Amino acid sequence: MDLNDIKAVYFIGIGGIGMSAIARYFLHKGIVVAGYDKTPSDLTKKLCVEGAKVHYEDNIELIPKDCKDKNSCLIVYTPAVPKDHKELIFFQAGGFEIQKRAQVLGTLTRSLKGLCVAGTHGKTTTSSMAAHILHQSHVDCNAFLGGITKNYGTNYILSHSSPYVVIEADEFDRSFHWLSPYASVITATDADHLDIYNTEEAYLESFQKYTTLIQPNGFLILHENLKMKASPQKGVTTYTYSREKGDFHAEKVKIGNGEISFDLVSPLGDIQGIQLGVPVAINIENGIAAMALAQISGVTSEEIKAAMASFQGVDRRFDFRIRSDKMVYLSDYAHHPAEIRQSIISIKQLYEGKHIKAIFQPHLYTRTRDFYKDFADSLSLLDDIVIVDIYPAREKPIPGITSALIYDNLRPGVQKQLCTKDEICDIVRQGGFDVLVTLGAGDIEDYADKITEILRPKA
């Protein structure tokens, strides 16, 4: 089905961060948008305000009439939806055009110049930075992001004239294989989603295949420390980047007084005196990758500097809820061992000599099973750790797989505690820290407002 022929789009899992961005795209085009999600959320409420029709019961009768014509309604679903979902079965039996979210994004990358960011971690911040830089410049862009940007309060940016679209390229379920990028960054290839890939080798092969999908006149920007082999088509220009070396890298890095500045060394033109709007060390590398995409797209040095300084970050990515001389509280989405390690290193650099406490909620039983020792190693960089029960997301419990696996493998001497979600607020009230960070991709974020309320009087 050609996107121009669509009169209605129905989303199964409309409340997902990636799904909702596409829903907003079709809403902006004046197309009927409706969908199902398991539970109400801030995202689904905002979609309803914007004109979408959303319900929360797997019930065929609740599907709007506009979405029951197979000749004009596109069905978009998330791979996390179970195969026995009644509405999905209804559309399958009715011969509807059914696409994964990534297939829709793939179509857009073939009609626009896709600037895609792939990798185990760093995708959301890097793609959001790139989108902000382009949108604030004379180049502009469309964007489909994996987080809510603080600059715009949304995960979607619309342009009526720009030929560029910034996309977070998700490796889960090999979704990024639907894309045809004009230019792509790969931030990291630390093994993940082994419930899908089974082995690290298969995971790395998936990224290798992704590099073959970049258009022949396009660009590939690889982090210096990737384990994978890249196999771009003939005609693709390949660059490398990292904080300290590569075609794109930083020099004259200054960290202090809550600020970070550096110079960008680039084959497309050096830029001096860059200030990070969100001054955490990991954003030096994220920023280098984002600026590389921006330079490839024709953004000027002055525009890049202004946008880097004005970038406010993404919800749940180094999200400072409280920041004062007395108290700091931040929420971070980090849920992979390598990601958590980088997050903790950045926090320790910013708050050297301070007592830092982390509350971590593991995400998925399979990820905990596969990486519990790595989680323990990363978390052991801190001296004070609380580990919450596993957030199951789409999974059913696995016998013997609990948060205690991580707890038991923390290094000797670490102050540690296991807790349920109901105990989080009481632990926060007990204090005993200068800096608190909540880590995880599950519903620990639902406690962020309450934690902020508890700590605000102490700040």
The tens digit of pLDDT for each residue in 23-78 reads 998 998 899 999 999 889 888 999 999 999 999 999 999 999 999 999 999 999 98
Q: Cα 358 from chain centroid?
A: 20
What is the residue type of 152?
Y
What is the pLDDT at residue 271? Answer: 98
Please provide the size of the chain in residues: 459
What is the pLDDT at residue 359? Answer: 98
The tens digit of pLDDT for each residue in 191-237 reads 777 778 889 999 999 999 999 999 999 999 999 999 889 999 999 99
The C-alpha atoms of residue 188 and residue 336 are separated, in whole angstroms, by: 11
The tens digit of pLDDT for each residue in 256-278 reads 777 899 999 999 999 999 999 99
The C-alpha atoms of residue 438 and residue 422 are separated, in whole angstroms, by: 15
The tens digit of pLDDT for each residue in 310-326 reads 999 998 788 889 988 89
Report the CATH fold assignment for 112-310: UDP-N-acetylmuramoyl-L-alanine:D-glutamate ligase (3.40.1190)
Average pLDDT of the residues in 432-451: 93
What are the sequence ranges of the domains in the chain? 3-99, 112-310, 319-458
What is the pLDDT at residue 142? Answer: 94
Q: pLDDT band at residue 90, thresholds of 50, 70 and 90?
A: very high
Report the CATH fold assignment for 3-99: Rossmann fold (3.40.50)
The C-alpha atoms of residue 183 and residue 165 are separated, in whole angstroms, by: 10
Burial class (CB in 10 A: 0-12, 13-18, 19+), 362: buried
The C-alpha atoms of residue 336 and residue 370 are separated, in whole angstroms, by: 11
- Nearest alpha carbon to residue 229 among 215, 212, 214, 213: 212
User: Mean pLDDT over all residues of the chain?
Assistant: 93
- Nearest alpha carbon to residue 215 among 101, 114, 298, 105: 114
pTM: 0.79
The C-alpha atoms of residue 260 and residue 243 are separated, in whole angstroms, by: 13
What is the pLDDT at residue 80? Answer: 78
**DSSP for residue 234:** T
- Calculate the alpha carbon distances from 458 to 210, 344, 429, 439, 452 in Å: 48, 23, 10, 21, 10
CATH superfamily of 319-458: Mur ligase, C-terminal domain (3.90.190.20)
What is the pLDDT at residue 380? Answer: 96
Q: pLDDT band at residue 441, thresholds of 50, 70 and 90?
A: confident
Average pLDDT of the residues in 442-453: 93
What is the pLDDT at residue 12? Answer: 97
The C-alpha atoms of residue 215 and residue 211 are separated, in whole angstroms, by: 9
* The pair of three-digit structure tokens given for residue 56, joined into one six-digit string: 């929360």
- Find residue 11's DSSP bridge partners: 35, 76
Average pLDDT of the residues in 90-115: 92
183, pLDDT greater than 90: yes
Q: pLDDT band at residue 1, thresholds of 50, 70 and 90?
A: low
The tens digit of pLDDT for each residue in 362-405 reads 999 999 999 999 999 999 999 899 999 999 987 899 999 999 99
Contact 388, 403 (CB under 8 A): yes
Neighbours of 447 (CB within 10 A): 20
